Structure 1
Amino acid sequence: MTAVRQEGGIVLIDAGMAFPDEEMPGIDLVLPDFSYLRDHRDELRGIVLTHGHEDHVGALPYLLREFADVPVYGTRLTLGLVRPKLAEFGIKRADLREVKAGDTIDVSNFGLEFINVNHSIPDAVAIALRTAAGIVVFSGDYKVDLTPIEGAPMDLSRYAALGEEGVLAYFGDSTNSERPGYVPSERVVGETFNEVFETAQGRIIVASFASHIHRISQVVEAAKQHGRLVGVTGRSMIRNVQIARELGYLDLPQEMYVDQRDVNQIPDSDIVILTTGSQGEPMAALSRIAAGTHRTIEAGPGDVVIISATPVPGNERGVSRTINSLMKRGAEVLYTPLRAVHVSGHAAREEQKLVLSLLKPRYLVPVHGEFRHLRHHAETGVGMGIPRENIFVLENGDRMEFRDGKARKIEPVPAGMFLVDAGTVADTSESIMRERQQLSEEGMFIVVARINAQTGDLLGPPDVISRGFVDPQAQNGLVDESIGVVTNTLQRTASSHVTDWGELKKAIRKDLSGFLSQKTRKRPIILPLIVEV
């Protein structure tokens, strides 16, 4: 999410979200901080979407809750994917304005041009933003695919024309900046699918991102060529397939479509199943198939499972677990690098060089990727002749000012993370995240002690209950020893006439934590409960 501000207002480029990593247990989604937009509420003139992936549109429902009247500009498929998300949030009257590649529009005193690019989803565009300072180009997510399976190749001629006109700054996709060469065409995956479909005797199951409409289309085309019907499972996959069919981006005739409840009525050799779960998500359809807990679909000997994606950093363990479980059930599992069942939708280094050579930007701002990706993109820019001082590697909250043809970093703005926890948005603190991490790794001890309200004397042995700490059969008297530690602590506090709950709990935590650490080298969460009698 990038805000561009000049006299006359603010235009927002994309409104994406992120998924939580392993250090965010219990968190559903990660949203950008809207504080800057709230501080300039009256200046926001429009939200411009480059394509329909979650990391570019996922925060839009939360944003429109607060900025309901702001127009949203996007291509047909992008808005088609956005509408049901808004409906889930009860947003029925959003001002959605459809554009297409090649269009030019004015938003306040900004001029916007939408430029066709190739990505793993149809209707992706780059944005050329005409400002008072000059032309600023936002790449969106892109690759240079000269043989795309849908639509025209990326409009490199338009990039060249903008370069001749003069581009002030380029905000470029950096995801694959470490990867040399060029990313293969999406058609390579289609060729692999046809090879697999040609030889497979049993059921074929293909796992992909639900938003990867091009990949889904490749599966459908292979099914047509080899006489298979297409089953669909996974909530987001079912929804996106329906949207893509309705809007004409997926040619899947009704007579080929099989509801997930009916897949077992079709012979294994006559069906392919599209599913979610390519990232090993525990509750996704493929994970449930691998675990044998899916309500209608099983995998076993004779089946071929294609994982048509690469793991997002942090998901490797879950993907590996899913693959192992499927193989234990007897299924053959195909994934990169065993077969060419996935290609990236993001430009590699030579493609980035090509874009830079066409646009010839005065300033380069690498975006979209981890910090190391941004730095590698910056080095590519240096190699292409952009002065190092004209390249800005920014972090969340950083601000750039363009004035009189020159750029500089200025005072940053607040840009923390807002976490969706149990369906609600909260600025969940680091302490809560640390506690959740500790619970997941170290477990918990609950201590229940009854004391005399007047004297603080312990009335009977305390109860100690452990959860997620040590297997009960392997505790070897640890709980009994813990009871002794708590008893000694409360006898000591009683002799000092301590009756304050806070002090008693603090003493229990300190003594019991030290004991358990010494015994087990673990520090579980300790939850003392004091009952006064």
Structure 2
Amino acid sequence: MGRKPAKLKIIPLGGLDEIGKNITVIEYRDEIIVIDCGLSFPDEEMLGIDIVIPDVTYLEKNVDKIKAIVLTHGHEDHIGALPYVLRKINVPVYGTNLTLGLVENKLKEHKLPNVVLNKVKAGQEINIGLFKVEFIRMNHSIPDACGIAIHTPVGVVFHTGDFKIDYTPIDGNMIDLHKIAELGKKGVLVMLADSTNVERPGSTMSEKSVGATFENIFRATDKRIIVATFASNVHRVQQIIDAAHKFGRKVAVSGRSMINVVKVSSQLGILVVPEGLIVDIDDMKELDDSQVVIITTGSQGEPMAALSRMASAEHRKIVIKQGDVVVFSSTPIPGNEKTVSRVINQLFKKGAEVIYKTLADVHVSGHACREELKLMHRLVNPKYFIPAHGEYRHLKSHGKLAEELGMPKENTFVIQNGDVVEFTKDTARVNGTVPSGRILVDGLGVGDVGNIVLRDRKHLGEDGLMVVVITISSKNGKIVAGPDIISRGFVYVRESEDLMVEARRVVREALKVCENQNITEWSVLKNTTKDVLRSFLYEKTKRRPMILPVVMEVHEK
């Protein structure tokens, strides 16, 4: 009997049913290529968490099979987890100029000098093991973005990455529709495509349209201008710099990530800055307000970002003053609306004029809307389709769009992270799952904060803490001091003395019963204290603080 033909597997470990932590595994026989390796940001339930990265247990178990990580572009949700993953899986990384420039910066910060970074250009084809990998130029809100076509023995896998179709891109490099159409003509087995804006009708406006709005804003004011945008949106930064140059203003840059991106993209020649245009923030004092533009982070209302600190008067070098023109060149990411609104209100209270999306065309998306997605489907004409990069409703809607365009329902796979989709040349099916999920990063701790710790943090944040200290004799187990009760975040002790006295009495009586029954085990004393105090406090306050009994033993002579 002949050898059974090997199957091609596609396994998303992140990026589905969520916005962020994009990572997809392409596996054939004993070889794996990983597309992207991103992070996501914590939601409000994840108290104290800095970032969220994908669970790569499957890759750790198959580390010998991994040939490379290939990157579509340099946004955090596609490259942010690399420093954490490369510690466990040190494999070569392939990406375009700016993408690797940003990765290099990250690796330096994390002290990971021994990673092999391979620079590629859009349009280039490279061989990695059994795979031929083709990088195809895309338009997005960051330069040097690519779609990736992986030629496998079973067929071609085309991953669009994040994209839009921009006929007038800032750098003049339009999406390579010819190459995509060529790919489609030869035949594509499966396409994975960006679903972020699938619910928006029409097409995404060109990035160039924002430039005209900036010029109108700059022309209309002689006050200081502050523009907040995503640090990685290099094309947007370029347009701010162009407008500043045209209207005779100097540019200062604020916010760590913005300073990093401006530095890297200028060094690589991607951001074109006229000589002497960028000045240090400290040198702004010498200039008149009509000669200054500040480009800053904080367009999402992040509490620690530069703009939020300016709005709350906590920035060490920039103070918002009457008449400042503040431009939010972004739209709030779902979930950030409240924090953005709070910052806008604070700025208005300080006397600034604030311009945001509902007032002017100061932002366009970097993702394809419905008509652009239709064009992509028509050009690629894949046999099978996996909607990617979006919440579940986006994936579902994108699956329906593919069906409207004539794809059979059974050829569309709306799947979850961890699902394994197996392909032969003529068949496709979901066959099992692999471990996937989220790893929480808190400070230097990676994965040491789980659901139980988060639950405790939530409990502490909502109801506070009571510590009960009891001192017992090592000789006979009798209570020699206490119970002393310390309250944090539950009630203010000085204003609730009666409640505290009563609480001590209740605990003392319960411990007396234990003493009379010769019960001296610490665990029993702790549980008794917890139970009686919990019941008493709920009866009196209808609140349930976390109760932490501490038993100390003293050696009596």
Find 2:127's aligned residue among 81, 87, 106: 106
Query: What does 1:91-490 align with in structure 2 at a 5 Å threshold?
Result: 91-471=112-492, 475=496, 477-490=498-511
DSSP 3-state at the match of 1:113: strand
Give yes or no for contact 1:263–1:297 (8 Å, CA) kept in 2. Answer: no
Tell me by how many angstroms 1:265 deviates: 2.7
- In structure 2, what is the equivalent of residue 56 of structure 1? 78
In the alignment, is residue 20 of structure 1 matched against residue 37 of structure 2? no
Residue identity in the other structure for 2:367:
H
Find 1:35's aligned residue among 57, 60, 67: 57
Tell me by how many angstroms 1:36 deviates: 0.9
- In structure 2, what is the equivalent of residue 497 of structure 1? 518
- Provide TM-score, normalisation by structure 1: 0.96
Residue identity in the other structure for 2:43:
D
* 1:430-456 Cα distance to aligned partner (Å, 9 max, x none): 111111111222221222222334554
Write the distance in 2 (CA, Å) between the matches of 1:471 and 1:197.
Answer: 52
- Provide TM-score, normalisation by structure 2: 0.92
Residue identity in the other structure for 1:293:
E
Count, aligned residues: 532
Identity, in percent, stands at 49
Give yes or no for contact 1:138–1:171 (8 Å, CA) kept in 2. Answer: yes
Change in CA separation of 1:313 and 1:480 when aligned onto 2, cut-off 3 Å: farther
* 1:178-199 Cα distance to aligned partner (Å, 9 max, x none): 2122111111221211111111
Change in CA separation of 1:261 and 1:446 when aligned onto 2, cut-off 3 Å: farther
Write the distance in 2 (CA, Å) between the matches of 1:473 and 1:258.
Answer: 53
* 1:415-440 Cα distance to aligned partner (Å, 9 max, x none): 12222122121253211111111122
Change in CA separation of 1:195 and 1:522 when aligned onto 2, cut-off 3 Å: farther
Change in CA separation of 1:515 and 1:335 when aligned onto 2, cut-off 3 Å: farther
- In structure 2, what is the equivalent of residue 45 of structure 1? 67
> 5+ unaligned residues in a row in structure 2: which ranges?
1-22
Greater shift in the superposed pair: 222-231 or 327-336: 327-336
Structure with the larger RCO, 1 or 2 (CA within 8 Å, 6+ apart)? 2
* 1:175-231 Cα distance to aligned partner (Å, 9 max, x none): 111212211111122121111111122111111111111111111111111111000
DSSP 3-state at the match of 1:167: coil
DSSP 3-state at the match of 2:172: coil
Write the distance in 2 (CA, Å) between the matches of 1:58 and 1:338.
Answer: 33
Give yes or no for contact 2:79–2:103 (8 Å, CA) kept in 1. Answer: yes
Structure 1 vs Structure 2 CA RMSD: 1.7
Write the distance in 2 (CA, Å) between the matches of 1:309 and 1:474.
Answer: 47
Give yes or no for contact 1:455–1:494 (8 Å, CA) kept in 2. Answer: no
> 5+ unaligned residues in a row in structure 1: which ranges?
none
Tell me by how many angstroms 1:30 deviates: 1.0
* 1:333-366 Cα distance to aligned partner (Å, 9 max, x none): 1212222211111111121111111111111101
Write the distance in 2 (CA, Å) between the matches of 1:474 and 1:328.
Answer: 35
* 1:459-518 Cα distance to aligned partner (Å, 9 max, x none): 344222222223557647333332233223322332332222222222222222223233
Write the distance in 1 (CA, Å) between the matches of 2:195 and 2:157.
Answer: 17
Change in CA separation of 1:329 and 1:470 when aligned onto 2, cut-off 3 Å: farther
Give yes or no for contact 1:129–1:136 (8 Å, CA) kept in 2. Answer: yes
